[in-house]
Structure 1
Amino acid sequence: MTTVTTKDGVQIFYKDWGPKTAQPIVFHHGWPLSSDDWDAQMLFFVGKGYRVIAHDRRGHGRSSQVSDGHDMDHYASDVAAVVEHLDLRNAVHVGHSTGGGEATRYVARYGKDRVAKLVLIAAVPPLMLKVDTNPGGLPIEVFDGLRSQLAANRSQFYLDFASGPFYGYNRPGSKVSQAVVWNWWRQAMMGSAKAHHEGIKAFSETDFSEDLKSITVPTFVLHGDDDQIVPVADSAPLSAKLLKNGKLKIHEKLPHGMCTTHADLVNAELLAFMAT
């Protein structure tokens, strides 16, 4: 397997496809998945001549199931280790959901001279949790409920999550793909229960406001208005306002897992942004 070892001894698995001289696109996956969740995007863009890279977050997929470091600072540092190992420059970073938070922190802290653009898809910034300064956020009980379900029966919880709100399969008239559900479940079950449990705090309680304010590269914020996981009203428009060079696009009726359910649309949007 292709891996890089971080300063704290964690092995991070990554994929690196396409010409080494081509412009790189770095994909950051969502919770609790792996780099496999980007198959539709990676195959599309490698076919367009780009170099595509995606890693498994620590505790996820094929990366080390370590006990510690399941927070955004470590996630961003792990990305930096992959980027520096491959010496990626002029890269476009694309983050979905939790991966959007990871990509935001990476670009803000480590992206100088290496990042060309940023894309945030159904992403968790600026802050998911309801606090006094973020009254539109979700109450802590929502995230406590996720933790309780994970601890009680992780396998069933993941199956229900993928079969329902993640892809909008709980909506009337939706066409459910059991293959998509099982692929989500497969990816999730590859990872560490502890990493996933602690990752809930990382994606829900991390405030990315200052990160967003510091980012100067062109940033595309893409969201669906039927996102049942990261509600659009308290995420995408707020992120776009904080960015110095942000572009916002909200699609009607698209679910959280839009990169899979509407891969053709998402790929076309990303390709157009890459060309600007």
Structure 2
Amino acid sequence: MGYYVSVESGVKLYVEDINSEGSKTIVFLHGWPLSHKQFEYQFDVLPFMGYRCIGIDWRGFGKSDKPISGYNFDRLADDIRTVVDVLQLDNFTLVGHSTGGAIAIRYMSRHNGYGVSNLVLVDAAAPIGFTTETATRFLTQALNDRPKMMQEVIDNFFFQYITNSFSEWFFQLGLQAAGWSTAAIINTLRDEKLYGDLPNIHVPTLIIHGVHDKVIPFAQAHELNQTIKNSQLVPFHYSGHGPFWEERDKFNKLLKQIIG
């Protein structure tokens, strides 16, 4: 079931809520510049294991409203808190991929992990995101030839082979976003750091990271593992930046194990 949640005046986020009667809840935060649909191969499986799966499109992306402001980690984390409050979620597992991982980390720090029982960081863009060089290149493309930018994202995203059809599907997910929100998040990934947030995470944390990730280096997963108490790092040896698809069976089994 899909519906909208108002997070501030004139801004509603799209929420995909699958198996609302499930015994345990998983909240998914997608990466830049995608949408909740990147987790299709989790939503195909986990609800049938009895889990409630909630995918949230952040502001500016997917089916959510696309205001011109509010693209810093504080505001994005506050948006998630509003959804949690409106849906009255508690004792849920929070899964964040890439920039969604950064938002999840800020949520844990800024809102004291409200309602979260387990945290899963997937190739998280933390404690830093884009270098100045990468950000400058993406920003130029986003403001002048966004399809070219999206193609570069795809070219560096996966370690395993993807078909042309899959590539086109992924390409269209990225183009659902607004151009201005796509650009704004590039600046956020360049400018915001999460070093101060990491010591504020106090729930069991699973860190999943593709060994061959060209977007967020695997070394950053080690840094997260060393800084976040009660964390476990699981390398995905046959994945780049997309282990949720590249090694989806292993990914889904790990989620099941950590949630119980």
C-alpha separation in 2, matches of 1:167 and 1:112: 31
Pick aligned residue for 1:154 from 140, 146, 151 = 146
C-alpha separation in 1, matches of 2:227 and 2:258: 19
Pick aligned residue for 2:225 from 217, 220, 240 = 240
C-alpha separation in 2, matches of 1:16 and 1:102: 20
Q: Does 1:269 align with 2:260?
A: no
Shift in Å, 1:260: 1.5
Q: Which moved more, 1:7-16 or 1:109-118?
A: 109-118
Correspondence list, 1:32-181, <5 A: 32-128=33-129, 138=131, 140-162=132-154, 164-168=155-159, 174-181=160-167
In the alignment, what sits opposite 1:220?
206
Shift in Å, 1:232: 1.0
Shift in Å, 1:50: 0.7
| TM-score for the superposition, normalised by structure 2 | 0.94
Q: Which moved more, 1:32-41 or 1:196-205?
A: 196-205
Q: Is the 8 A contact 1:95 1:121 kept in 2?
A: yes
In the alignment, what sits opposite 2:187?
201
Q: Deviations over 1:182-224 (max 9, x none)?
A: 1111111111000000101222332112211011000001101
Q: Secondary structure at the match of 1:51?
A: strand
Q: Which moved more, 1:77-86 or 1:26-35?
A: 77-86
Q: Is the 8 A contact 2:77 2:106 kept in 1?
A: yes
User: What is the count of residue pairs matched by the alignment?
Assistant: 259
Q: Deviations over 1:7-27 (max 9, x none)?
A: 343110001111436211000
What amino acid is the match of 1:89?
D
Q: Secondary structure at the match of 1:94?
A: strand
In the alignment, what sits opposite 2:23?
22
Q: Is the 8 A contact 2:31 2:99 kept in 1?
A: yes
In the alignment, what sits opposite 2:13?
12
Shift in Å, 1:108: 1.9
What amino acid is the match of 2:69?
D
Segments of 5+ residues of structure 1 without an aligned counterpart are: 130-137, 169-173
Shift in Å, 1:113: 4.8
Q: Secondary structure at the match of 2:53?
A: strand
C-alpha separation in 1, matches of 2:206 and 2:8: 31
Q: Is the 8 A contact 2:123 2:216 kept in 1?
A: yes
Q: Is the 8 A contact 2:118 2:258 kept in 1?
A: no
| TM-score for the superposition, normalised by structure 1 | 0.89
Shift in Å, 1:239: 0.9
Q: Which moved more, 1:10-19 or 1:85-94?
A: 10-19
C-alpha separation in 2, matches of 1:252 and 1:81: 36
